[in-house]
Amino acid sequence: MKIALLSDVHGNAPAFRAVLADIERAGADETWCLGDLVGYGAQPDECVALAAERCHRCLVGNHDLVVLGSIDIATFSRNAAEAAEWTREHLGSDARRFMASLAPADTGAPLGLFHGSPRDPVWEYVLSTVQADACLTAMDARIGAIGHSHVALAFSRRDGEMAEGRQTPGGTEADLSKGEWLINPGGVGQPRDGDPRAAWLLVDSERWTASWRRVEYPIDEAARAIREAGLPQVLSERLYFGQ
């Protein structure tokens, strides 16, 4: 089965539409989302509706949970909190019900799915090999997919050695058939690895290969929606830099 993995949509509908179109062109059998459908962007209802329609599996992320009131908004930075407050005020009831039905982890799939990490599905950012090594030990599945950091990454461990890791720019391929792996597709709606293009990951669960993808999308449209909503301007500006 060919599985499309994506994460961190963050209310950016133009990026989400572009990724879903690329997923369709790639011939993926299923699309799985690792959470944070809403957050910094100004089109939350459309993004949640697209996920409900197009994603076969979907997790809830910390930005989704704070909008639902399950996380204290005081734990967020000023800009993130302002965006969360705006989303709370504007999110429709259908989107709210869909997000409330989701969990931050799913271990019933051919690979483990976690918004943050196997150790802490809501909050942990896995950005180092030390963290990845501990997470691989904590994980039952041989391969796990994580989001949350907005950075496309791959960590692997073989034969009891310490985990190794690297960033995975668009076009990166990996053979997942041996060893243990933690893979991150990067961010759809707000990448933070210096590449402003929307990110996603194609996994072939029969051959156990992975291919990291990047997609151009109309950033101006997403940035304009943020400005017109009255959200912090930095949230629109950073889209152009992938930061």
User: What pLDDT digit, counting tens, does each position of 63-112 carry?
Assistant: 999 999 999 999 999 999 999 999 999 999 999 999 999 999 999 988 99
Q: Does the structure show a pLDDT above 90 at 18?
A: yes
Percent of the chain residues past pLDDT 90, beyond the cut: 97
Q: CB 156: neighbour CB atoms within 10 A?
A: 22
User: In whole angstroms, what separates CA 43 from the centre of its chain?
Assistant: 16
- Spell 46-83 as b/e; 16+ CB within 10 A means b: bbbbbbbebbebbbbbbbbbbbbeebeeeebeeebebb
Percent of the chain residues past pLDDT 70, beyond the cut: 100
Domains in the chain with CATH codes:
2-240 (3.60.21.10)
pTM of this structure: 0.96
User: What pLDDT digit, counting tens, does each position of 151-184 carry?
Assistant: 999 999 998 789 999 999 999 999 999 999 999 9
What pLDDT is attached to residue 53?
A: 98
Q: Does the structure show a pLDDT above 90 at 221?
A: yes
